[in-house]
Amino acid sequence: MLQFERWKVVLVLFLTLMGILYAAPDVAPPKAQAWLAKNMPSWLPSGTINLGLDLQGGSHLLLQADIGSVVRDRVNSMEDAARSKLRAKNIGYLDLTATKDGISFKLRHPALDHDAAYKIANNLEDKAVVNITDAGLVTVTLGEDALKSINAQVIQQSIEIVRRRIDETGTKEPVIEQQGANRIVVELPGVANPDHVKKLLGKTAKMSFHLVDLNATDGQPLPGDIRLPMQNDPHQFVVIREHAVLTGDMLVGSQPTFEEGQPVVSFRFNSIGASRFCDVTRNNTGKPFAIVLDRKVISDPRINEPICGGSGVITGGFTVKQAQDLSLLLRSGALPAPLHVMEERSVGPSLGSDSVAAGKVAASVAMVAVLVLMAASYGLFGIFADIALILNMIFIFALLSMLQATLTLPGIAGIILTIGIAVDANVLVYERIREELRAGRSVLAAVDAGYVHAKATIIDSNITTLTVAVILFSFGTGPVKGFAVSMSIGIITSLFAALMLTRLMVITWLRKTRPTKLEI
């Protein structure tokens, strides 16, 4: 056990050096940090650990997604698709109406059209519940599984879109995560005034496809119609059917391109959207088709022929920049549902500064107390443990810097807790060495036995603690995750420091001095 292979020595020294270099931008004094920023090699990271909302101040937003609007859009789309498909198959029906969570209609000839109607109804929406009675009453309902799927899809898509929009503002390390069934927490460190972010998130960028009502006279909407302005000319209006035949959540891709020398935006639908788009264009060839984005008509092209490939283009007199922005918005920025700000609060930088100062005091007191206790209890071996503890703190900051993690107040608490955990392994080894010396063993035999017999206990105890940290990270949110991350990193680095770094120092000292008596 006292043999330390050369490759292990090189590995420990290399990792220690890299840890110091990676942590230097964070742990060095301010003047030294400025010098390091100019003179550090380009292949080393120059960034520092990001401070969380509770440490540098910022804004906290609680957003709620309007899932109901998505369900209404899905139901309206189901209603239009059912009408189109039933007519295409010459299936007679009565009283086709939309309900809160589905549609219903009655077949004129239940016995004749039962199977065909069931096939059409079953393809209207994924996970929808279809029921046909003997009397021919057909109901297509968005059941619990379908609603859960829609809710999960909307929230996950909204979180990703919110993240992309906020990242474009230059905000460092925003915290964006789900809270409850339909809410999203957004924490913006360093953003004192979130008005710009709220405006950015308020842009739903919701696209839908509608048929233009050619029966409307003098631009006046009929029942079931809405009158919307053109995007490039707010004084020009288009009367369209209120129910969207297709919605933007069926898009799977969008790219800027050129058609006849003019910038346009190409798009692709998923399988359900492609099928509906094919039916709509086949049944309305020669009629105008309005593409609506955030309650404005961006284009109302004429359907020249059925489009059954699941793709198409949007023409609207775009510039190249407008086509690029629109394709980006549709591809990755279209919120599936409006987001409403339910709660907003700000954390001042002075409060964050107080937290940082208190954290520094707590960490310093804990560090000094442990350093003194170890040196007083174990003498020279305690000093070896102290050196390893200081390097262990450097390793923690190095890993946090490499991961570009966001340090929060619970994260500082995790680091402070690690100070005590880090010397625990050395205490186990040193106490075992004392027992071996009292049993009459030689110095080398006692040290060897100490490391051999304590190793299993050290690994078991640290794995147990690491398991708890993993559970906290898996099931916790926000501050709990920050605590779990910093504690997990601390456990890993403390294992390395105790089993590799401290042991290397002890073995090197024993080889050079070859003591016959050990004071520990």
Q: What residues does CATH 1.20.1640.10 cover in the chain?
A: 6-56+349-513
Sign of the dihedral defined by the CA atoms of residues 257, 261, 263, 267, in that order:
negative
- Res. 331 pLDDT band, cuts 50 70 90: low
Q: What's the mean pLDDT in 131-158?
A: 88
Q: What residues does CATH 3.30.1360.200 cover in the chain?
A: 58-347
- The tokens for 189 are 């460190």
Question: Could you please report the per-residue DSSP string of 248-264?
Answer: GGGEEEEEEEEETTEEE
What's the whole-number average pLDDT of the chain? 83
* Out of 82-86, 174-178, 296-300, 313-317, least confident range: 313-317
Within 10 A of 184 (CB to CB), how many other CB atoms are there?
A: 22
CATH topology of domain 58-347: Gyrase A; domain 2 (3.30.1360)
- Res. 168 pLDDT band, cuts 50 70 90: low
320-332 and 144-167 helices, crossing angle to 10°: 140
Cα gap 413→54, rounded to integer Å: 13
- CA dihedral (321, 322, 324, 330) in degrees, to 10, reads 160
Q: Look up the pTM and report it.
A: 0.55
Cα gap 381→379, rounded to integer Å: 5
Q: What's the mean pLDDT in 13-30?
A: 82
- Res. 349 pLDDT band, cuts 50 70 90: low
pLDDT, tens digit (0-9, with 9 covering 90-100), for 383-425: 999 999 999 999 998 888 887 777 778 888 888 888 888 888 8
Nearest C-alpha neighbor of 344 from the set 119, 32, 53? 53
Of the options 3.40.228.10, 1.20.1640.10, 3.40.50.920, 2.60.40.10, the CATH number for the domain spanning 6-56+349-513: 1.20.1640.10
pLDDT, tens digit (0-9, with 9 covering 90-100), for 259-275: 888 888 888 888 888 88
pLDDT, tens digit (0-9, with 9 covering 90-100), for 453-463: 888 889 998 89
- The tokens for 47 are 């960034």
Nearest C-alpha neighbor of 202 from the set 61, 348, 322? 61
- The tokens for 371 are 């350093």
123 has a pLDDT exceeding 70: yes
- Res. 359 pLDDT band, cuts 50 70 90: confident
Q: Which residues contact residue 127 at a Cβ distance below 8 angstroms, ignoring those fewer than 6 apart?
A: 142, 143, 145, 146, 149
- DSSP symbol at 28: S
